[in-house]
Structure 1
Amino acid sequence: MSIRLFALVLLLCLFLNSITTKAQTYSRNGMVVSTSSVASETGRDILKKGGNAIDAAVATAFALAVTHPSAGNIGGGGFLVYMDNEGTATTFDFREKAPLKATDDMFLDENGDVIENSNHFSAKAIGVPGTVAGLYKAHEKFGKLSWQEVVQPAVELASNGFTMNWSLYQSAQYFEGDKERYPQMQGFFSNENGDIVEPGDIWKQTALGNTLSLIRDKGSDGFYKGVVAKKIEAFMKANNGIITKKDLAKYVAIERKPVFGTYKDYQICSMAPPSSGGVTLISMMDMMEQVSFDTLEFNSTAYVHFLAEAMRRAYANRAKHLGDPDFNPDMPIDFLLDKQLAKEQVATIDMQKATKSDSSKFGQMPEGDNTTHLSVMDKDGNAVSLTYTLEYAYGSGMVDKELGFIFNNEMGDFNPKPGVTTTRGQIGTKPNLIEPEKRMLSSMTPVIVAKDGKPYLVIGSPGGRTIINTVFQTVLNVIEFDMEIDDAIEAMKIHHQWLPDRIMYEELLLSPDTREALKSMGHEMISRTRLGQLMGIIYEDGIFKGASDSSSGEGAAVGY
């Protein structure tokens, strides 16, 4: 085949279909990237039907509630960032809330100590779910297809089933092996005969299909009122939980203004509190803008050291200042996003040695790693970045068999003990103490980066407290180091969160020499196999380029 003929064939394929090379997928008419290929295909099919980015995001999110139950959910909450093709942006906050009966000492014993596992593995650990309300509100404002059309694919996936994969099968084996700790997860992955569904066989979730049918037919009222609400309240009473029908009826998702920043010629749009992600990421980008990359080589010892010091300062401010804005009206957001603050913080960085985190001031609450993210762009260039979670993998490990979905354990994201901060990461600062109807602070960081005023990069990740830093480094990789989206996602990443005072690094991607050099500067080093599980899209010159993190296993970027 001649070079010219080959080029013509390649262009024809690009126009008609997606082309995958390595982890990167190309398309012309839109793209969906999520941690489940089945869910991504669901969203892609909605785009093909004429749906827009919001329609596809909603359909993908509901599909993930079926195919990715460890984090995809209707029993949790999250955040959605939307930017249209002219650069106008808004966000939807559907973070879970503390129930009306919640108190700031609800997880303490008579001696004032935190009761072990009480804020993660009990019915009291369950926050009022927000996902259905958030997806409904976003669709009500921006959706093009009907609500019924975008929810129906998830109903069919649950009711008719989909092919059991090895990842889900391994989860089933895990829960089967720990019946004492997870009694309610027994039978969750089973067929009608009570046997765990084998890989390659069809897994049907009839109860979940029935719940999704009510949501399809009645909108958010199908979850927060009526049969589902009654069953949730009954489940809580039976398991010593405190969520009631009143909590569910009072829950509302909120449309909020995004937080904005700039990095050179790019505009960064992300989620405002109660997500801490946007503010913290932008403050770190502001610090990186002070750097001359002519003298700070990518992945060098000096580069990793500077990243860690920027993270240390940004996460310290996160812990001190951020929480639910409805309960903390005086948060100094403008101060934290001021580029002058970034200059002052950079001036305090010693390039020869590590700063020491002062645990007497404040620190970071640990967060569960098992969130999930999806990125969507439609043929018109409208973009959605959506991150939602149950907190831990499979949340609280508690499921109502008649409803078919798993409940979150997000109450563990509140500070459990007022006024007490430890070097291990527990904090007791006021902005994130438990109060009725308060939304717990989050690290979720859905981001859309605009170039020339239009959506250019859509990115996000799970990873609990590591989310902000993995997204931050990926954004930097794309817009500073001009990486393709797959390379930016797969590149080495580190994490520092103020407390514990240490650098977490990807073991196979950071050289032994660099590790030793960082140790000699005073950094404590701790390895991880991978950080984050990023899902991203770049849109440029009429071409969508998408990639799912190779660590996601079942993840896929799907376009057409």
Structure 2
Amino acid sequence: MPLIYRFSRFVFSLFLLFFLPLESSGQTSWSKSYEHAVVVTAEEQASQVGSKILQQGGNAVDAAIAVQFALAVTLPRAGNIGGGGFMVLHLSDGTNVALDFREQAPLEADADMYLREGEYVPKLSRTGGLASGVPGVVDGMVNAHRKYGSLPFKELVEPAIELAQQGYRLSYKQAQYLNHYAKQFRNYRGSTNYFIPEHNEDWQEGELFQQADLARTLQRIADHGRAGFYEGTTADLLVREIQQQGGIMSHKDLKNYKSVWRNPVKASFMGYDLFIMPPPSSGSIAIAQILEMLKSYELREMGFNSAAYIHLVTETMRRAFADRAHFLGDPDFVDIPQRKLLAPSYNERRMETFNPEKASASDQINQGDIPFPESSETTHYSIIDQKGNAVAVTTTLNGSFGSKVAVSGAGFFLNNEMDDFTAEPGEPNMFGLIQGKANAIEPAKRMLSSMSPTIVTKNDSTRMVLGAAGGPRIITATLHNFLNRAVFNMEPGQAVSAPRFHHQWMPDTLYYEQFGLSADTKKQLKKRGHALGSSDNLGRAHTIFIDEAGLKYGAADPRSDGAAAGF
């Protein structure tokens, strides 16, 4: 029954898209409006935690911190303290800033660490002790609180501690995810102890799920802040687990980790200003390039998801992802020609080979010519508070349940973010992305990411808080949500549920959501030379839209169990 319900929910969203007028300002069951403040996350209890913090007088940053720790309890496949992420803030005084708490490579890491006898061994960067980068979440939350928090840090961790101690009832999807990965969990002692039920049968919907060791870990963080994770008991447990599983992370790696404040990338389109997480997020450059390439085209007149529209946007995606593979990496390690990549003249040249009647071949599309000498499993949440402060956060373990290694005695999963580096030039990572030397493994380097938290303003007022989950599909899902609202004036529920398409240069496939394209549209795209591939879904976006009257819409993606909460 739950499977039928979720399938029906998505199909109903398609009905709304095609049969409600695009100018409608109505609401759907997964789009709710609030007068003062709203939180949208991938899990209902986490959304409720964030909303309560706001009602207690906390600001958007306070709520984001509380949500992050709550998701580590209720969404262990993606919410985390053993991974990393990005935060973009737009404050009511006009300040725009970004926080990079992305994982880093251990100090003993090197470019050949996943080669054995000269051959690339993919599983080494995806499961087990060698797969994990140094976690950044806890340092990031402490850093954000130190600069912008208002309530005591301890109060922000307490809801997560309570959820871990007292437990929560598993949803159908939560139980199914745990059951699906049970075979992999059994390879590791901690994962078996925490995530395989004592009765040794499948988890059931409605079953109470308690996490005593995770509660103790969270209590140490609440009591001691950063030191409660990167030093002392938790650090000892983490390093012991990593090294027992053949990894190289050390106490020095943990002690040296620091999150970094950066300036967002700014893009402008149709009167909107987008503030996007900068590198090592690749989404900022890619989305900004795509919008720059699209500026001279009449998108609305083409029609939503018409063959002409899909063809054009796909060709811009193809070129942006080709540039991503070549130019982008950790800005503290590589020289990214950001100004040139975003220049109108450069993006005009990128479109000189665009043919409105024929698809480009990806193996004939390389990075653009820039003269250097001249100058996942992921989850996203969006928050806006009663004073107008907005926060967009995307956080990840990379694959679902990360490396599949849970820290014995501490109760949390470690990430497998090392797979986001270029483990071997020319070899695709777990998401099929081809990456270049700019993203090669180096000690203490941050791996390139597709996470793209974004805040959109118009006339200095916040209009959208965007972001998504889903590996490289994050970039295109975030782009679609923006275009759906900015170009096609879709109401919030329609904008987040509308069928998406995705192209990432390599593999040379245009992916579309099942039931999202008509037979005629697919025929026209094939005639233009596109290789089509269907997908169950292309990203999960949990979004806030604000209308001109200031009414705040929390739009949870119908492709997941997300929820909005507010007042």
Q: Do residues 357 (structure 1) and 362 (structure 2) align?
A: yes
Shift of 1:420: 6.3
**1:360-509 → structure 2 map (5 Å cutoff):** 361=366, 369-418=376-425, 425=432, 427=434, 429-509=436-516
Q: Which residue of 2 aligns with 1:282?
A: 288
Shift of 1:193: 6.6
Structure 1 residues 134 and 421: alpha-carbon distance in aligned structure 2, compared to 1, 3 A threshold = closer
Contact 1:132-1:220 within 8 A present in 2 as well: yes
How many Å separate the matches in 1 of 2:144 and 2:482? 25
Contact 1:191-1:203 within 8 A present in 2 as well: no
Shift of 1:331: 0.8
* Corresponding letter in the other structure for 1:547: A
> Per-residue displacement from partner, 1:461-496 (whole Å, max 9, x unpaired)?
001011101110110111111112211111111111
Structure 1 residues 453 and 400: alpha-carbon distance in aligned structure 2, compared to 1, 3 A threshold = same
Shift of 1:263: 0.5
How many Å separate the matches in 1 of 2:385 and 2:50? 10
Contact 1:262-1:268 within 8 A present in 2 as well: yes
Q: Do residues 542 (structure 1) and 555 (structure 2) align?
A: no
How many Å separate the matches in 1 of 2:199 and 2:537? 38
How many Å separate the matches in 2 of 1:359 and 1:47? 51
Shift of 1:336: 1.2
Find the partner of 1:143 among 143, 149, 163. Answer: 149
* Corresponding letter in the other structure for 2:520: D
Q: Which residue of 2 aligns with 1:226?
A: 232
Structure 1 residues 486 and 269: alpha-carbon distance in aligned structure 2, compared to 1, 3 A threshold = same
Structure 1 residues 518 and 195: alpha-carbon distance in aligned structure 2, compared to 1, 3 A threshold = closer
* 1:186 partner SS: helix
> Per-residue displacement from partner, 1:252-308 (whole Å, max 9, x unpaired)?
000001110101211010111001011111111112221113642221111000010
Shift of 1:206: 0.3
How many Å separate the matches in 1 of 2:342 and 2:33? 35
- Percent identity between matched residues is 41
Contact 1:77-1:95 within 8 A present in 2 as well: yes
Shift of 1:148: 0.7
Q: Which residue of 2 aligns with 1:518?
A: 525
> Per-residue displacement from partner, 1:531-554 (whole Å, max 9, x unpaired)?
11110011231211111101112x
How many Å separate the matches in 1 of 2:419 and 2:364? 21
* Corresponding letter in the other structure for 1:519: K
How many Å separate the matches in 2 of 1:195 and 1:299? 45
Is the deviation greater in 303-312 or in 225-234?
Answer: 225-234
How many Å separate the matches in 1 of 2:27 and 2:145? 30
* Corresponding letter in the other structure for 1:62: F
Q: Which residue of 1 aligns with 2:20?
A: none
Find the partner of 2:33 among 12, 22, 26. Answer: 26
Q: Do residues 344 (structure 1) and 349 (structure 2) align?
A: yes
Structure 1 residues 81 and 235: alpha-carbon distance in aligned structure 2, compared to 1, 3 A threshold = same
Shift of 1:192: 6.7
* Corresponding letter in the other structure for 1:200: G
Contiguous gaps of at least 5 residues in structure 1 = 1-18, 364-368
Shift of 1:87: 2.7
Find the partner of 2:262 among 236, 256, 265. Answer: 256
Contiguous gaps of at least 5 residues in structure 2 = 1-25, 369-375
How many Å separate the matches in 1 of 2:326 and 2:380? 27
Q: Aligned residues, how many?
A: 533
Is the deviation greater in 116-125 or in 389-398?
Answer: 116-125
Contact 1:362-1:421 within 8 A present in 2 as well: no
Contact 2:64-2:393 within 8 A present in 1 as well: yes
Q: Which residue of 2 aligns with 1:305?
A: 311
Shift of 1:106: 0.2
Structure 1 residues 419 and 126: alpha-carbon distance in aligned structure 2, compared to 1, 3 A threshold = same
Q: Which residue of 2 aligns with 1:332?
A: 337
How many Å separate the matches in 2 of 1:282 and 1:50? 35
Q: Do residues 161 (structure 1) and 167 (structure 2) align?
A: yes
Q: Which residue of 2 aligns with 1:36?
A: 43
Contact 2:481-2:496 within 8 A present in 1 as well: yes
Contact 1:98-1:437 within 8 A present in 2 as well: yes
* Corresponding letter in the other structure for 1:50: G
Shift of 1:152: 0.7
Q: Which residue of 2 aligns with 1:319?
A: 325
* Corresponding letter in the other structure for 1:229: A
TM norm structure 2: 0.90
Shift of 1:202: 2.1
TM norm structure 1: 0.92
Q: Do residues 62 (structure 1) and 40 (structure 2) align?
A: no
Shift of 1:415: 0.6
How many Å separate the matches in 1 of 2:202 and 2:219? 25
* 2:49 partner SS: helix
* Corresponding letter in the other structure for 2:284: G
Q: Do residues 106 (structure 1) and 113 (structure 2) align?
A: yes
Contact 1:99-1:127 within 8 A present in 2 as well: yes
